[in-house]
Amino acid sequence: MPITTAVGPSAGDLRVTKSYRNPEGVTVAPEGAEPLGGLPPKFPVYDDLSTTLLAGPDSADEADRMAIAHTLAVASGYAYSDVGTEAQMMTRMGLEKSRCIAATLSVDAMFIKSTAYVIQSADGRVVIVAYRGTEPTNSISWLADADVHPDRIAFQFGKDVVHPDKTYPIHAGFYRNVRSTRQVVIQALLDASEGKPIHGDPDPDLPTHPMEALYITGHSFGGALASLLSVMLVTDDQYQDRFGSKLKGTYTFGQPMIGSREFAQTCDEIPLLKHHTRRYVYQNDPVPALPPKASGDFAHHGTELEIHEGSRGKAVERRSRQQERSPLRLLWAPVGFITRKFPELSGISLPYSLEDHFPHHYISALTPEGVANEFGDAELYARS
């Protein structure tokens, strides 16, 4: 299994002249710099991001909660790139000099295309697991995502969880993709929990703390893998105490369903999974309605949050998406993609649009008002 590693640059290595840290440690634009779009350039995007992530989504500060969602959307979106880019984007967001590893396993005949990133903050206290999602140019990941007759595997919760003797059907494709790279992920989490560098190489800047906060994230197919891994860590006897207690949140973006309705209901009986699983859905993204009803009984667990163009970080909790009962309605998704590209067709209302599934829309919608984009370049939206 190919495993690649990188260490993110310092903010100083990426910063040229746009901004600097003042003596109080706050990032400011240089004197005389012209604001762009009404907001001075700011880099990194968030000061003291590690502290914000340690506080977690239960923080009383709404700005902190939005910063967490924004950061994890960026981690999910750039998981489509390479390990060096992922590490660099974390520096841009505010986790400079983070250690990053990527494990990839592909078995086309088995519909396996799994890429998992593990990101460890410089001080070791924060760890993010990010799964790559459905690659636009890779037919295997699309087939795994959109399989209308998925194979199923029986999943059993740990002995300390509700209904420990029962098994529940879950999507076998998602299960195999999680399991194919899980060994590398678990070893990295073990190292992080012991205060070791996750990449296993000699590191002159060793972590000063063991892992205190864990986040799991992913977009699309990657969101399904993130959701399933979090269930495993919280309910598996081997991992509950070591990792489950550190899990601050699972954040997914445009995620399909991973298991049966009874599986989802059981997950929702576990407080950590119900309240700390956040599923974001952008406008008419079709993927959260998959697999369709013709595939059998599937349902979501956790909290669903709806976002749209111009949300600026503010999401609205809503009833979870249900399975699409008519597979024919899903055929409108690519048509919706086309209508978005032609202004004269923009008035056509369709149930789904493939355009709404792309990760850049999730990142844009979750960029809070007054906050720079992931490159630190002024505001995301132009002001009228």
Q: Is 129 helix (H, G, I), strand (E, B) or coil?
A: strand
Give the whole-angstrom CA distance, residue 368 versus residue 141: 31
- Identify the pLDDT of residue 33: 47
In this structure, what DSSP letter does residue 36 have?
B
pLDDT digits (tens, 9 = 90+) for 144-198: 555 545 678 889 887 667 677 789 999 998 999 999 999 999 999 999 999 999 9
What pLDDT does residue 314 have?
A: 96
Extract the tokens encoding 354.
Answer: 């493939």
pLDDT of residue 216: 99
Contact 93, 371 (CB under 8 A): no
Amino acid identity of 266? T
Residues 112 and 176: beta-carbon distance below 8 Å: yes
Mention every residue, 6+ apart, whose C-beta is less than 8 A from residue 24.
Answer: none
pLDDT averaged per 10 residues, the chain (length 384): 92 66 57 46 86 90 95 98 97 96 92 95 97 74 57 81 82 93 97 92 76 98 97 90 92 97 94 95 94 90 96 95 73 54 54 87 95 78 45
Q: In this structure, what token pair is assigned to residue 261? A: 């309705």
For residue 41, whether the previous peptide bond is cis, meaning omega lies within 30 degrees of 0, is: no
Give the sheet arrangement for strand 126-131, strand by strand.
3-7, 99-107, 112-120, 126-131, 213-219, 247-253, 277-282, 303-307, 316-318
pLDDT at 237: 84
Tens-place pLDDT, residues 289-335: 999 888 889 999 999 999 999 999 999 999 999 987 766 566 555 55
In one letter, which amino acid is 21? R
The answer to whether 1 and 103 have CB atoms below 8 angstroms apart is: yes
Output the pLDDT for position 29: 55
Q: Are strands 112-120 and 126-131 parallel, antiparallel or unpaired?
A: antiparallel
Beta strands in the chain (DSSP E): 3-7, 20-21, 27-28, 99-107, 112-120, 126-131, 152-156, 167-171, 213-219, 247-253, 277-282, 303-307, 316-318
What the block records as the tokens of 104 is 């990839």
Instruction: Tell me if 8 sits within 8 A of 88, measured CB to CB.
Output: yes
Alpha-helical runs (H) found in 120-254: 139-146, 172-193, 221-235
H helix count then E strand count, the chain: 12, 13
Tell me which amino acid residue 227 is: S
What is the bridge-based pairing of β-strands 20-21 and 3-7?
A: unpaired
Residue 149 has what pLDDT? 59
Residue 251 DSSP class = E
Beta bridge partner(s), residue 360: none
The CATH number of 3-322+354-365 is 3.40.50.1820
Helix axes 83-93, 62-77, angle to 10 degrees: 160
| Residue 328 CB partners (closer than 8 Å, separation 6+) | none
CA distance 332 to 347: 15
Closest by Cα among 213, 36, 17, 245 to 125: 213
CA 31, CA 18: separation in Å to the nearest integer? 10
Cβ atoms of 148 and 121 within 8 Å: the answer is no
Q: Which of 222, 216, 215, 214 is nearest to 114 (CA)?
A: 222
